[in-house]
């Protein structure tokens, strides 16, 4: 039986108007203009190129395993993984999306002439990519035929006479590299700040749609793209575990949740707010979800599974009004290169790996405590921790977790 967590309330001073101020870059004294806003500093550029070199070495190993000369990557998650975060923008058909081709020693971007200039100006300059381009009139298929004819090429999509690599790529994508982990932590802080700033400014009688719009704006304002937004007013979260947002007005409580991505990496976080004294049932449900969150983080270790995590958490709900709430939604998913990856194959739970990203979503009644972690040897590292937000400090198995509490707003 999992030990029952103990927690203490920790309420820090909260600046309800806190926002991140943009940093101004002064021109150089010698008259040389600063680099354009999209140009990364040399250290960041070198780190990203080194990360791509690591991916290319992994592809070389994969080619040896499947006895192929080159690999073709078409799936967006695999392209963003290999390029260490290339962002593909605009309205594209699936057949127009850029691809990556590598023989394990060199790397090429395959893209439409519509996208070449921006991708090399803003995404791939100085990262060692060569170019194979198609014109939008001819399409991608002819170029793919050209680079694969007469060669033994593997691919991440089912194409004739090409071995598939998706299953072999999955463990490579799951374990975040050191560079990716640094990017992930920065992304997690940005998302947590956006969710908290939005929640602090929610007003009674606002609609869920209003709050969703404010949250989406704050996420985009920080150079991050919203992937999914859920605003659950009052008891709607108990009825719909994937609530989205509606025209419902917020009267007493609200749970804000968002998933955002940058560079192909995805993080998810939630925060809860109440007006005046929170309803007793909501407080009890939130405290249970909060304890579950701490337990799930503690079990975010190598070799654990979703099944072991759920079993450990089930003791918290036993004997409560929410004893069977675990049946209504999954405790969590794989994250990182995917917004949500179900970690079951053929009915079997897959074991966690060191450096893997997970999103935990304990939901109890209308309450939810959702955050994203990186699997560590002694438990998960939360990348979406509370900043300007009240939290409860949970003590479990000699470790301490700071888990977001309910923000009580003025009437």
pLDDT for 6 equals 53
Q: How far apart are the first and last CA of the chain?
A: 41
Sheet with 391-396, strands from edge to edge, namely 6-10, 391-396, 399-404
pLDDT for 41 equals 67
Is the separation of the CB atoms in 359 and 371 below 8 Å?
yes
| Tens-level pLDDT at each residue, the chain (411 residues) | 444 455 554 433 333 333 323 333 333 333 333 444 455 667 789 999 999 999 999 999 999 999 999 999 999 999 999 999 999 999 999 999 999 999 999 999 999 999 999 999 999 999 999 999 999 999 999 999 999 999 999 999 998 889 999 999 999 999 999 999 999 999 999 999 999 999 999 999 999 999 999 999 999 999 999 999 999 999 899 899 899 999 999 999 999 999 999 999 999 999 999 999 999 999 999 999 999 999 999 999 999 999 999 998 888 999 999 998 888 999 999 999 999 999 987 778 999 999 999 999 999 999 999 999 999 999 999 999 999 899 999 888 778 889 999 999 976
Name the nearest CA neighbour of 228 among 259, 254, 255, 199. Answer: 259
**What is the C-alpha to C-alpha distance for residues 281 and 284, in angstroms, rounded to an integer?**
5
* Number of Cβ within a 10 Å radius of residue 109: 24
pLDDT for 396 equals 81
pLDDT for 22 equals 31
Is the separation of the CB atoms in 111 and 86 below 8 Å?
no
* Parallel, antiparallel or unpaired: strands 371-374 and 357-360: antiparallel
**What is the C-alpha to C-alpha distance for residues 94 and 354, in angstroms, rounded to an integer?**
33
- What CA dihedral angle connects 245, 249, 254 and 260, to 10 degrees? 30
pLDDT for 40 equals 61
**What is the C-alpha to C-alpha distance for residues 141 and 29, in angstroms, rounded to an integer?**
51
Name the nearest CA neighbour of 226 among 211, 204, 241. Answer: 211
Beta bridge pairs of residue 274 = 253, 408
Q: Which domains does the chain have, with CATH numbers?
A: 42-173 (3.40.350.10), 176-409 (3.90.230.10)
pLDDT for 20 equals 29
Can you tell me whether residue 394 is helix, strand or coil? strand
Is the separation of the CB atoms in 383 and 346 below 8 Å?
no
pLDDT for 5 equals 55
**In b/e form, how buried is each residue of 338-348, taking b as 16+ CB within 10 angstroms?**
bbbbebeeeee
**What is the C-alpha to C-alpha distance for residues 395 and 7, in angstroms, rounded to an integer?**
6
131, containing H or E segment: strand 130-134
Beta bridge pairs of residue 349 = 344
**What is the C-alpha to C-alpha distance for residues 43 and 304, in angstroms, rounded to an integer?**
36
pLDDT for 202 equals 95
Name the nearest CA neighbour of 97 among 151, 144, 55, 52. Answer: 144
Supply 354's token pair: 């060191």
pLDDT for 38 equals 53
């Amino acid at each position: 039986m999992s030990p029952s967590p103990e927690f203490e309330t920790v309420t820090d001073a909260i600046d309800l108007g806190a926002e991140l101020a943009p940093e101004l870059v002064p021109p150089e004294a010698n008259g040389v203009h600063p680099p354009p806003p999209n140009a990364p500093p040399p250290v960041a550029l070198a780190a990203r190129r080194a990360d791509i070199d690591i991916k290319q070495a992994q592809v070389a190993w994969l080619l040896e395993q499947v006895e192929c000369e080159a690999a073709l990557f078409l799936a967006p998650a695999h392209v963003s993984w290999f390029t260490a975060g290339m962002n593909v923008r605009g309205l594209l058909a699936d057949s127009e999306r850029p691809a990556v081709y590598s023989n394990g020693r060199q790397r090429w971007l395959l893209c439409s002439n519509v996208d070449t200039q921006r991708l090399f100006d803003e995404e791939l300059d100085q990262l060692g990519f060569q170019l194979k381009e198609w014109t939008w009139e001819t399409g991608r298929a002819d170029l793919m035929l050209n680079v694969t004819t007469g060669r033994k090429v593997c691919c991440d999509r089912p194409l004739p006479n090409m071995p598939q690599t998706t299953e072999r790529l999955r463990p490579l994508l799951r374990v975040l590299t050191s560079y990716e982990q640094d990017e992930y932590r920065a992304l997690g802080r940005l998302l947590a700040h956006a969710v908290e700033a939005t929640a602090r400014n929610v007003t009674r009688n606002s609609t869920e749609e209003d709050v969703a719009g404010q949250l989406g704006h704050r996420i985009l304002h920080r150079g991050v793209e919203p992937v999914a937004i859920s605003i659950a007013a009052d008891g709607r979260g108990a009825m719909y575990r994937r609530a989205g947002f509606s025209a419902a007005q917020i009267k007493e409580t609200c749970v804000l949740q968002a998933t955002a991505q940058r560079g192909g990496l995805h993080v998810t976080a939630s925060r809860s707010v109440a007006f005046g004294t929170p309803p007793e049932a909501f407080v009890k449900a939130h405290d249970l979800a909060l304890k579950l969150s701490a337990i799930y983080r503690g079990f975010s270790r190598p070799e654990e599974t979703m099944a072991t995590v759920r079993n450990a958490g089930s003791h918290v709900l036993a004997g409560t009004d929410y004893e069977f709430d675990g049946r209504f939604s999954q405790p969590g998913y794989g994250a990182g290169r995917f917004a949500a990856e179900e970690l079951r194959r053929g009915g079997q739970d897959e074991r966690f790996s060191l450096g893997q990203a997970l999103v935990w979503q304990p939901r109890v009644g209308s309450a939810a405590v959702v955050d994203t972690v990186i699997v560590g040897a002694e438990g998960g590292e939360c990348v979406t921790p509370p900043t300007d937000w009240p939290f409860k400090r949970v003590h479990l198995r000699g470790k301490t977790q700071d888990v977001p509490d309910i923000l009580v707003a003025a009437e």
